[in-house]
Structure 1
């Protein structure tokens, strides 16, 4: 877990530290102002590390799909938010483990050992995340942000992060909604069947949710729903089956 936290914070921390560090002057050490600025930047990046981790990993797709699944049950508080976020986080670590391992081996570990500069370490650490985002970003979303940025990259490898990250997030949201639609469809059918049966029996005063919720739960348990949902989410990523 310590390694995951370091890798999550490393890309942006290295970038900002390299930008904030003052240019060394001949015959003088680092100034007090420069050291204080570096410390402030480091503390700021550490506080933003969770948000950074969410934007460049599989977390967004997984947590949105699980939230829509919970909506389909008709019980907004079950499972609780803490459980949904925890499951999404650990599934993210599972999906991203190969990327984390490469980033640690190529960039973070050599930098901590003192064999790389901030700029070199940032480039090597961010490259596995760039590869992951490129593999899971739709061409249409990529073209949209390239056109809005007014750039003309020669290849996908030349696309900068300010274009790649929002394109990746839009693609993740689209796929999460697609998965959510497929998850909600069986629950919608159960709701319609229960409402039709209750109306046919003349039980119009009985809330359909009273009957449909247990029906949804037993249906989900019988088909081993959690295993199916988790397997589908993990396998929806390139290179994960």
Structure 2
């Protein structure tokens, strides 16, 4: 009977003693499940706006003797994604499209001194509508030649007139026939347009006799050398200004 009681006492004492000693035993490392750590790792790996997300591996080292360690995070594989740029921002940052070059006048129509063998006396203006040149006859068998624009088909004319008036930066009053003609083509002309850089008569005007024709400047210098006008003789503003200073009212003008 005593033996049975002793065995029972030992059975009770020994587990309690073992549990007491186990309290001070070394604990195994604590492992955090990848299911819990993965979202935090993904947040740390988030790429900047517009950059592709690259494959990364995140590993945390455990110092010797540490009581707690985190299991290595799984490799996060993400498909490369590039965010398309904002079209409005892209358009604003894009370089401006190059402007198309303005039409250029043929250099042959620039002013120059040339030989003159015609019969008109010095001081006369001679206009060759076929060649698109205006000559101011000078002494010594020479002439100052300028390029001009002349009347288009159906509006050209020939004859002799004199300069009856000169004007600087003239205003423009389109004739009634021109207003009606342009209206039929869908273009509305003003009843009057004051002088200025945008005025079709340009910087200077030399009025020919009692006609509606003039030798004048232009706001479209690239048309010099062409048959484009309604009968007037047009010049570059620089050239008509030069001619204006060289001639006076009463000068004879021959158009051929």
- Provide the TM-score with structure 2 as the length reference: 0.16
Greater percentage in helix: 1
Greater percentage in strand: 2
Higher relative contact order (CA 8 A, sep 6+): 1
